[in-house]
Amino acid sequence: MIIVIQCTDQVGLVASITKVMAKEQLNIVSMREHVDQAQNRFFMRLEITYGGDGDQLEEKLRNVLPANAAIGINPLPEKKVVVMVTKEYHCLADILIRNYYGTLGAKVLAVIGNHTILEDICKRFDMPFFAVSHEQIGKEVFEEKITTIIERYEPDYIVLAKFMRILSPGLVAKFPMRIINIHHSFLPAFIGANPYKQAFERGVKLIGATAHFVSSELDEGPIIAQQIISVNHSYTASDMVKAGKEIETAVLASALKLVFEDRVFVFKNKTVVFE
């Protein structure tokens, strides 16, 4: 079982929490904690052996924690996911393969695409695919159709696997810190469209990718994972795109693993990640 705690910091928190575990005769398999001194914020992730009532354990923890502490008790359930795509296949293909072999750490329930190009690969994996075109309809209607499908599946997370449409603040607000995006650059550099073209024209020596939670501000949500690779003058714009797709796939896979294992804490616009 996983326990995640986020609260105002105070002296003796670790001792108080572990005392509860000892009193309940629970074995702590692993424990990670961090204090953000600037924000006076405490973060902890515990993995314990426990087969009892999570609600009772949560009540005991609340008795020793500051008021308004955020406590999550999660007996390692398989997260439920809906994936959204446009035309690029690389991130979706990786997710579908991991889902098929049971190594994703979650269960993909459906894929939504605003083009039909990726429907075929979904059929190969017997994955429900919903085509919702954004063309010739207003954004509000488009997002209403998407939301209806998402809510049908009640997912824990929505993964934007190269979904190339900007979501409205209204839609994002319906799924706060539950939408995960892979961005094709090392944020905050080269935000928006055509980042590899921007990078090529700038003559950069490093390119990267960023996985982050989606917020109402474009490409400015809390960052989960980032990676970079070296490039040089011999790389064409096409070479950068090819290299970029590989790193995008790797970064998204890494970020999803961290989120699905409850290793990511969000506070304001930053994350604490217990890798």
Q: Which pLDDT score is estimated for 12?
A: 96
Q: Which residues pair with 270 in a beta bridge?
A: 267
Pair of tokens at residue 210? 């960023």
Pick the catalytic residue from 55, 94, 219, 262.
219
Q: Which pLDDT score is estimated for 187?
A: 46
Look up residue 132 and give its DSSP letter.
-
- Specify the DSSP element, H or E, that contains 56: helix 54-62
Domains of the chain: 2-74 (3.30.70.260), 79-273 (3.40.50.170)
Integer Cα distance of 263 and 273 in angstroms = 6
Q: Which pLDDT score is estimated for 244?
A: 87
Find tokens 């390119």 and name the residue. Answer: 207
Verify whether residue 262 is a known catalytic residue: no
Mapped onto helix, strand or coil, the DSSP state of residue 27 is strand
Summary mean pLDDT of the chain: 92
Chunked into runs of 10 residues, the chain (275 residues) has average pLDDT values of 96 97 95 96 95 88 96 86 97 98 97 98 98 94 97 97 94 96 71 67 82 87 92 85 91 97 95 96
Asked if residues 193 and 166 have their Cβ atoms less than 8 Å apart, the reply is no
Give Cα 237 distance to the centre of its chain: 28
Report field, pTM of the whole predicted structure over 0.85: yes
Q: Which residues of 22-34 are buried (b: 16+ CB within 10 A; e: fewer)?
A: eeeebeeeebeee
Look up residue 156 and give its DSSP letter.
S
Q: Are strands 206-213 and 2-8 parallel, antiparallel or unpaired?
A: unpaired
Asked if residues 228 and 206 have their Cβ atoms less than 8 Å apart, the reply is yes
Integer Cα distance of 246 and 81 in angstroms = 22
Q: Count Cα atoms within 13 angstroms, Cβ side, for 172.
A: 18
